[in-house]
Amino acid sequence: MSWDVRTKIPVVEVIAPDGRKSLWIAVVAMTKAVAAVKEVIPPNHVAVLTKQRLTISRKSVELRRGEVRRIGL
């Protein structure tokens, strides 16, 4: 695999009970992104898939398959 390959990662919005929102990425298939994020957030938070995709260069960011991470944009 080439190091300059660009990858689009699903972005999930998480909404806390008090209305605060945060963005998360999950390095999984788009259909599994919400479930992956729900595994690491409190059960009383809501997770929804956004239309956004995070485009990254594998050269610049180290992500492992299956990784879930909160991001700041």
pLDDT greater than 90 at residue 53: no
Specify the pLDDT at position 72. 80
Whether pLDDT at 54 is above 60: yes
Count other Cβ atoms within 10 Å, centred on residue 7: 13
Print burial letters for 36-69: b (CB count within 10 Å at least 16), e (below 16).
bbbeebeeeeebeeeeeebebeeeeeeeeeeebe
Please report which confidence band the pLDDT of residue 57 belongs to, taking 50, 70 and 90 as the band edges. Answer: low
Task: Determine the pLDDT at residue 3.
Answer: 39
> Whole-angstrom Cα distance, residue 38 to residue 61?
23
* 1-17 pLDDT, tens digit each: 333 456 788 999 999 99
pTM of the predicted model as reported, rounded to 2 decimal places = 0.81
Ordered by start, the domain boundaries in the chain are 6-71
What pLDDT, on the 0 to 100 scale, is given for residue 52? 87
Count other Cβ atoms within 10 Å, centred on residue 31. Answer: 9
